[in-house]
């Protein structure tokens, strides 16, 4: 039992508190002891006062002491509340720091895509949102209150030992047992699929209502009422589950009442007997009676509500740290990437699936990209094109085969060093709510370089370098889809200027008009000169200008060659190209070639 008590999250939670603020945690614990001790001292002094009155002795000093104790007790309560709120806020900040670090630091992405870890993450983040329990600053006040009661009850029970050795055990034990007997009524299991599901819905509906990206559709499709109802319904569901799992169990309550009533009856009967028989004076009788009443604070049911919730949040974050580190880890190589690739990038029998047991997205893929050349990858939706370049960025490792750079397995290279060589624009590129300068050079850079990159992407006039690219900020602006894409391209061009040797362009011009696309390609052409470039596009007018083209189907390369050779071969590429040319016309295509 002791071992199981020691293993409980609650203890470990108290052990973690100093991490949030050593001095503050010490003050918080100190105030708990002080506020718990004073009531027992008060009881003793009341006894002494009654005795002094009875004996006709001076009572001024005793009254003064009682007054001071009373005032101190009153002052300590709000001060403790403030310390608790501060500690709760610090703890929230500390937990957020840990969560951000465990989410952002792993080199891979596995930890963000594991369903179990995502569940834990939802649970962990609740310490701030307070969707299924009090937020941390309030929880710390409630926990402090519960602990003060516990210490106060314990100290007053100890006073009873001066009456009879068994009195603290009988009275204190009875009140203490209420904690275990009623525990089931106040604690609820939040790790069930039903709770996590409801919690995820609550969060999601909340974000749908509050976040700008969903605002257009919510209004256009008349979804406002639906979103609000959905939030209310999932919130209600969460409350219902909680009520259901914590409903009071009548049998346990009756047992608790009987136990407490019985213990107190025995104690007070014994006290009355001794007082009547003259074995106990009025001062002691009053003091022990008061202490017995005070011991009722041991029924610290209040702790059950806030403590498990807070402890769970802290322990979930602690548990997530190693789990996310492991799931997001990439087997570490330490070889620096230097100026790789000097000769080629080679995919050798590469297989990949996103989760163990799930479908193979890449399956025995072989591909060579000579250094300094351009390769276009085409294929139907879901063929695995983006997955291929994600592996090249080492966001994941192949589940079979290997990717070699100049003959060296990518896994032997230091991931950070290799990523320093690669730059990419993905379909879901990030639109930072930051000034244009940081959108182009997130890690900072010379303004002239930023301007040159913007000019290269035809985005020099979208906004001033200091303008925040989000309408919600003072002086901020929102950009069109095409303008955003140019800014993202500028980010890539800035990285190329900074020395990136591998350029990945995943549908880089999907949001540009035909003229814009032709113009951007001219610029990409000169900017990526001498760089190894991989272009993914559904626009064959763009694709045809790559040095080489490969067609991906069901996770394999089924055709590869130059535009002319593939057209001459009359295979899938020719079919796709002809279909698109017939539908959209091929006359306006830009006369540019994406290569060195």
Ligand X SMILES: Nc1ncnc2c1ncn2[C@@H]1O[C@H](COP(=O)(O)OP(=O)(O)OP(=O)(O)O)[C@@H](O)[C@H]1O
Residues at the site binding ligand X, with contacts judged by CB under 6 A: 113, 354, 361, 379, 381-387
Distance (Å, rounded) from C-alpha 149 to C-alpha 159? 15
Nearest approach in angstroms of CB 345 to ligand X is 18
> In terms of Cα–Cα distance, which of 128, 144, 180 is closest to 5?
180
Nearest approach in angstroms of CB 519 to ligand X is 24
Nearer of residues 90 and 394 to ligand X, judged by Cβ = 394
Say how many CA atoms lie within 13 Å of 412 toward its Cβ.
Answer: 11
Sign, CA dihedral 212-213-219-225, equals: negative
Distance (Å, rounded) from C-alpha 460 to C-alpha 543? 26
Could you tell me if 358 and 399 are in contact, meaning their C-beta atoms sit under 8 angstroms apart?
A: no
Strands 532-536 and 502-506: parallel
Distance (Å, rounded) from C-alpha 550 to C-alpha 557? 6
Sequence-distant (≥ 6) Cβ neighbours of residue 159 within 8 angstroms: 40, 43, 44, 287, 288, 291
Nearer of residues 60 and 381 to ligand X, judged by Cβ = 381
Could you tell me if 308 and 152 are in contact, meaning their C-beta atoms sit under 8 angstroms apart?
A: no
Nearer of residues 141 and 386 to ligand X, judged by Cβ = 386
Phi-psi region of 35 (alpha: psi -120 to 50; beta: other; left: phi over 0): alpha
Nearer of residues 198 and 361 to ligand X, judged by Cβ = 361
Nearer of residues 45 and 426 to ligand X, judged by Cβ = 426
Distance (Å, rounded) from C-alpha 400 to C-alpha 349? 7
Q: How far is CA 583 from CA 553, 579, 587, in A?
A: 22, 6, 12
Could you tell me if 401 and 348 are in contact, meaning their C-beta atoms sit under 8 angstroms apart?
A: yes
Distance (Å, rounded) from C-alpha 63 to C-alpha 259? 37
Nearest approach in angstroms of CB 118 to ligand X is 12
Nearer of residues 9 and 559 to ligand X, judged by Cβ = 559
Nearer of residues 121 and 383 to ligand X, judged by Cβ = 383
> In terms of Cα–Cα distance, which of 410, 152, 126, 132 is closest to 298?
152
Q: Which two tokens stand for residue 156?
A: 């007053």
Say how many CA atoms lie within 13 Å of 229 toward its Cβ.
Answer: 6
Nearest approach in angstroms of CB 415 to ligand X is 18
Nearer of residues 276 and 359 to ligand X, judged by Cβ = 359
Distance (Å, rounded) from C-alpha 310 to C-alpha 468? 37
> In terms of Cα–Cα distance, which of 388, 391, 397, 171 is closest to 297?
171
Q: Any idea how long the chain is?
A: 596
Sign, CA dihedral 417-420-423-424, equals: positive
Nearest approach in angstroms of CB 414 to ligand X is 24
Nearest approach in angstroms of CB 538 to ligand X is 7
Which residues pair with residue 559 across a beta bridge?
A: 551
Could you tell me if 305 and 86 are in contact, meaning their C-beta atoms sit under 8 angstroms apart?
A: no
Q: Which two tokens stand for residue 391?
A: 């592996």
Nearest approach in angstroms of CB 558 to ligand X is 13
Distance (Å, rounded) from C-alpha 256 to C-alpha 250? 10
Nearest approach in angstroms of CB 399 to ligand X is 13
Could you tell me if 398 and 351 are in contact, meaning their C-beta atoms sit under 8 angstroms apart?
A: yes
Nearest approach in angstroms of CB 530 to ligand X is 27
Nearest approach in angstroms of CB 355 to ligand X is 7
Nearest approach in angstroms of CB 387 to ligand X is 3
Nearer of residues 252 and 354 to ligand X, judged by Cβ = 354
Nearer of residues 481 and 570 to ligand X, judged by Cβ = 481
Nearer of residues 4 and 381 to ligand X, judged by Cβ = 381
Nearest approach in angstroms of CB 378 to ligand X is 9
Could you tell me if 440 and 491 are in contact, meaning their C-beta atoms sit under 8 angstroms apart?
A: yes
Distance (Å, rounded) from C-alpha 523 to C-alpha 161? 88
> In terms of Cα–Cα distance, which of 104, 136, 163 is closest to 17?
136
Nearer of residues 58 and 115 to ligand X, judged by Cβ = 115
Nearer of residues 166 and 426 to ligand X, judged by Cβ = 426
Nearer of residues 78 and 115 to ligand X, judged by Cβ = 115
Distance (Å, rounded) from C-alpha 259 to C-alpha 522? 86
Nearest approach in angstroms of CB 556 to ligand X is 12
Nearest approach in angstroms of CB 546 to ligand X is 16
């Amino acid at each position: 039992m002791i071992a199981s008590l020691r293993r409980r999250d609650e203890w470990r939670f108290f052990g973690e508190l100093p991490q949030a603020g050593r001095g503050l945690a010490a003050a918080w614990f100190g105030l708990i002891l002080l506020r718990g001790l004073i009531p027992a001292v008060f009881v003793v002094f009341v006894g002494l006062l009654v005795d002094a009155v009875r004996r006709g002795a001076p009572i001024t000093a005793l009254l003064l002491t009682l007054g001071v104790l009373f005032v101190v007790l009153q002052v300590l309560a709000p001060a403790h509340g403030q310390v608790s709120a501060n500690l709760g806020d610090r703890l929230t900040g500390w937990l957020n720091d840990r969560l951000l670090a465990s989410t952002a630091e792993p080199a891979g992405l596995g930890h963000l895509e594991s369903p179990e870890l995502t569940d834990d993450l939802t649970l962990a983040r609740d310490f701030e949102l307070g969707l299924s329990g009090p937020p941390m600053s309030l929880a710390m006040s409630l926990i402090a209150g519960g602990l003060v009661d516990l210490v106060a009850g314990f100290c007053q029970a100890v006073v009873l030992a001066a009456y009879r050795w068994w009195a603290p055990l009988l009275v204190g034990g009875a009140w203490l047992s209420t904690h275990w007997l009623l525990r089931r009524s106040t604690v609820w299991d939040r790790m069930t699929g039903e709770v996590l599901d409801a919690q995820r819905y609550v969060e999601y509906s909340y974000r749908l209502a509050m976040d700008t990206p969903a605002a257009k559709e919510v209004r256009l499709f008349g979804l406002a009422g639906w979103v609000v109802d959905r939030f209310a319904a999932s919130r209600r569901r969460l409350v219902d589950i909680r009520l259901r799992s914590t409903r009071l169990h009548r049998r346990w309550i009756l047992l608790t009442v009987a136990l407490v009533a019985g213990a107190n009856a025995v104690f007070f009967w014994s006290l009355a007997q001794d007082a009547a028989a003259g074995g106990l004076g009025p001062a002691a009788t009053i003091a022990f009676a008061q202490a017995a009443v005070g011991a009722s604070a041991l029924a610290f049911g209040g702790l059950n509500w806030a403590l498990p919730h807070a402890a769970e949040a802290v322990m979930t974050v602690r548990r997530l740290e190693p789990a996310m580190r492991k799931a997001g880890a990439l087997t570490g190589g330490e070889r620096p990437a230097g100026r790789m690739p000097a000769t080629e990038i080679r995919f050798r029998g590469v297989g990949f699936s996103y989760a163990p047991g799930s479908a193979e997205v890449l399956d025995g893929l072989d591909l060579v990209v000579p250094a300094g050349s351009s390769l276009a990858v085409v294929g139907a939706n879901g063929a695995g094109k983006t997955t291929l370049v994600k592996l090249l960025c080492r966001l994941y490792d192949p589940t079979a085969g290997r990717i070699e750079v100049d003959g060296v397995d990518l896994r032997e290279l230091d991931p950070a060093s290799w990523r320093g060589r690669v730059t990419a624009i993905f379909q879901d590129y990030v639109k930072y709510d930051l000034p244009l300068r940081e959108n182009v050079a997130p890690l900072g850079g010379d303004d002239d370089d930023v301007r040159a990159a913007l000019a290269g992407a035809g985005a020099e006039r979208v906004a001033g370098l200091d303008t925040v690219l989000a309408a919600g900020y003072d002086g901020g602006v929102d950009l069109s889809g095409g303008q955003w894409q140019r800014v993202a391209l500028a980010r890539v061009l800035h990285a190329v200027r900074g020395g990136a040797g591998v350029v990945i362009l995943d549908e880089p011009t999907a949001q540009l008009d035909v003229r814009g696309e032709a113009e951007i390609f001219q610029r990409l052409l000169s900017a990526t000169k001498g760089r190894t470039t991989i272009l993914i596009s559904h626009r064959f007018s763009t694709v045809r200008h790559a040095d080489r083209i490969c067609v991906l189907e069901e996770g394999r390369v089924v055709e590869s060659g130059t535009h002319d050779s593939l057209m001459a071969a009359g295979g899938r590429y020719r079919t796709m190209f002809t279909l698109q040319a017939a539908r959209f016309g091929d006359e306006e295509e830009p006369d540019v070639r994406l290569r060195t």
